[in-house]
Chains A and B, each alone.
Chain A
Amino acid sequence: MTAQVTPVTSAPSASEGFKLSVHSLFKRSCGGIFILSSLVLVLGWVFKIGFFTYLVPGWPTMKPITAIGCMLLSAALYTSISPQKNKLSISLTLVLIFVSSATILDTLFSTRILTNDGLYSLPSDATAICLALSGWAVLSIHFKRYFISGLLAWSCLVLIIFRLMRLLLEGPQASYASIFDSMSIHTALFLGGLVVVGILLHPRLNYHRLILSPDALGVFARWGILLVLFLPTALITTVLRLAERQNANIESLLAISITLMSMFLVVVYYRILNEIKTREEAKHELISQLQTMMDVAPNGILLVDNNGVIQKTNPATNNLFGYNEGELLNSSIDILVPDNYRSVHSDHRNAYMLHPSEKKMAEGRNLVAKRKDGSLFDVEVSLAPMYLKGKQYIFTQVIDVSTRKALELKQQELNEQLSSSNAELQRFAYVASHDLRAPLRRISGFIQLIQSNYEGKLDTQADEWIDRSVENLERMQEMIDGLLRLSRISSEVEIYQPVSLQTIINEALELLSHQINKTKVHINVGLEFPDVMADKAQMLTLFENLISNAIKYGNSDAPEIHIAIHNQTSQKVVVMVRDNGIGISEQHLNDVFDIFKRLHSYQEYEGNGIGLAICKRIVEQHQGKIWCESTIRKGSTFFVELHKVQ
């Protein structure tokens, strides 16, 4: 049996073909032969044609009831394979069950339900039982009880094989001893053939695929079937021979118990097979999942043995390195390494093989790999040791990082460009504001000369225009000064020292004392401001600007300013400066920090629109944050987040 198994890799499709060919073989010939021959037998009996009542000339005749049973079984099986004839098959099966059951009843209780002493004489006990088992087996198929059906069919087959073994040992004239060897040889062959075909026809109960499969399940099934089928049969035959038919009752008892044992073994066998099958399927599923993963993985995956020889590659590896499928197999991993790095690489590899561990290479250095055409590309490689059948392998993953590297380089370039253009912009702002001062100073000088020398000597219109020019020049001067101050903040070197916010705020208030006294603003300063890492002069400018703004845009009737810690963590502190003044509408909350952004006319509130831009620049320079919350006509609060001294 094992000899027939061919070690083909595509086992499923081979057995598929086998099943299909049995199918059509039965449909076209076997089925017909079985039906025809049993029909001939039945007709032989009906019309008393002696010749047709023999299955094999020279052998005893087949009893008519047996012939009818065989005909019904073959027809039921034949129709059971096509779904359209389901009902016909069920009907035939039911008739078969009726005939066999009636026969068994007649045998057991000597009734005459179906049989008589004439034409329809009693068939042998074993034949009746086999017919009944087959009938129930076919019925079970229709009700999708495949396990029961298989059990019934295989039991039937065991009985028949047992009978055939006995006939084989004692010759065709083996005499009647118990119900289990009462079946005649032709009935046994005919029925046996039918049952085998039936089992092959219904894949759910045929185990031949299982037995033929090359995997672990097949191996177990092939060896197990010897134990399950042939051991009990051989055992019972031997026992019967030893007993020399001295006591038929004891023989029958033995035969029944051994048959039961055999059926029990079949059940156990089936369960074990099922379990193995489940596990095999799970394994296959896992393998196919892993295979798919290997196939679709975007990274190169290689299995390398401990001599550095490539044992397995995935498609991505071949694509990455420009090799054809299978071309890399059995070559050294070193061919993927640039020539000048090869000797170092093989040293590294040997060292790694002594102490293999899961490892990511290329951390902190650039790894380069070589394609088949000799071109090089950046890679990242990770390694993991693997033990297969006691041999050590290295599971290697290769990621092409050349695109990423190129992007990183590009990003670095862009960053450099950006910072250089930023520096240029700052330099520009400085130079522009600086160089604009000279002509402005001259214009302003001449205008003021005209103002002082010619006031009242021209008409009043001229005097007014001169005054306006002077005013505008003053504003322009302020703006340019502001721009110059702003650009200086960015160009100053950042060396920060611990600065006491408390001191800074007090100094800022001191600087603004004139403004404070003039507006009679009430200023409420919180306590215990922490020290921050900052540039002292810039901090002073920051708070001077914020407080001065709060005074300028404050409440005209009862101005109040509140300076306090909004919240703080161990690292940062948020200071707030709150006024009860005119407030800022929501749409302008972010604009207030823009340079030269003014929300009010110059006539309403003087200013150059640069104070908050300077604040923002200072805070950003300190890696802090500045933002503002406000309700119109209720007041504004400015928040500044700074880094505390650690």
Chain B
Amino acid sequence: MNDPNRPAQVLLVEDDLDDVTLMRESFKINRFKANLHHVENGLKCLDFLYKRNDYVDAPTPDLILLDLNMPVMDGRQVLENIEADDKLKHLRVVVLTTSTNEEDVLKMYKLRCSSYIVKPVDFHKFQKIVTKLTGYWFELVVLPPNGQ
């Protein structure tokens, strides 16, 4: 299975710092040991993935948690970019958003996102989602080897 010694690399693309803190805290509560990397918009996300500019030393993330509505470049454009690039399209992208817009849901799946999750208002529920999410991606499924 996945290398237990190698910590999970999770990239959180999120413009709101509070949400980043809450995500970190829920990882902590879940005792999920992961390197949580954070970028605040789509453009920086692509930099991260292409390991350029500020992110030359960035690891390839095992899982990308992508918010949809962000300034500069939003999640939709990011997903379009990943989908269009052969080197990136194998990456697992989970859309994590407050948008319940049905059109968005369909569009994101058409862009081959791995999952679409609506952030619940209640923190307890959110925590449960994080538990399930990490359990699924880091315990259940098999990821490509060597952090690809």
Q: Which residues of B contact A452 (CB under 8 A)?
A: 29
Is A444's CB under 8 angstroms from B123's CB?
Answer: yes
A423→B126 CA distance, assembly (Å): 33
Q: Which residues of A contact B16 (CB under 8 A)?
A: 438, 442
Q: Which residues of A contact B122 (CB under 8 A)?
A: 441, 444, 448, 474, 477
Contact-size category for A: 10 to 19
In the complex, chain B residues 69-121 whose Cβ is within 8 Å of any chain A Cβ = 98, 119-121
If the complex has contacts A446-B22, A449-B25, are A441 and B124 also in contact, measured as CB distance less than 8 A?
A: no
Interface membership of B18, Cβ < 8 A: yes
Is B121's CB under 8 angstroms from A441's CB?
Answer: yes
Interface membership of B139, Cβ < 8 A: no
Interface membership of B19, Cβ < 8 A: yes
A446→B21 CA distance, assembly (Å): 9
Q: Which residues of B contact A448 (CB under 8 A)?
A: 122-124
A613→B20 CA distance, assembly (Å): 37
A433→B141 CA distance, assembly (Å): 37
Q: Which residues of B contact A437 (CB under 8 A)?
A: 98, 121
Contact-size category for B: 10 to 19
If the complex has contacts A437-B121, A477-B121, are A445 and B22 also in contact, measured as CB distance less than 8 A?
A: yes
Q: Which of B122, B123, B126 has the most CB of A within 10 A?
A: B123
Is B123's CB under 8 angstroms from A449's CB?
Answer: yes
Q: Which residues of A contact B25 (CB under 8 A)?
A: 445, 449
Q: Which residues of B contact A442 (CB under 8 A)?
A: 16, 18-19, 22
Q: Which residues of A contact B120 (CB under 8 A)?
A: 441
In the complex, chain A residues 424-457 whose Cβ is within 8 Å of any chain B Cβ = 434, 437-438, 440-442, 444-449, 452
Interface string of B9-25 (1 = CB under 8 A from A): 00000001011001001
B98 to chain A, nearest CB (A): 6
One of B29, B98, B124, B126 near A438 (C-beta < 8 A): B98
Q: Which of B29, B121, B123 has the most CB of A within 10 A?
A: B121
In the complex, chain B residues 1-53 whose Cβ is within 8 Å of any chain A Cβ = 16, 18-19, 22, 25, 29
B128 to chain A, nearest CB (A): 12
Residue of A nearest to B29 (CB): A452
- 24 example contacts (A-B, Cβ-Cβ < 8 A) are as follows A437-B121, A438-B16, A438-B98, A440-B121, A441-B120, A441-B121, A441-B122, A441-B126, A442-B16, A442-B18, A442-B19, A444-B121, A444-B122, A444-B123, A445-B123, A446-B18, A447-B123, A448-B123, A449-B22, A449-B25, A452-B29, A474-B122, A477-B121, A477-B122
20 additional A-B pairs beyond A444-B123, A445-B123, A452-B29, beta carbons within 8 Å, are A437-B98, A437-B121, A440-B121, A441-B120, A441-B121, A441-B122, A441-B123, A441-B126, A442-B18, A446-B18, A446-B22, A447-B123, A448-B122, A448-B123, A449-B22, A449-B25, A449-B123, A477-B121, A477-B122, A481-B121
What is A's interface to B at a CB cutoff of 8 Å? 434, 437-438, 440-442, 444-449, 452, 474, 477, 480-481
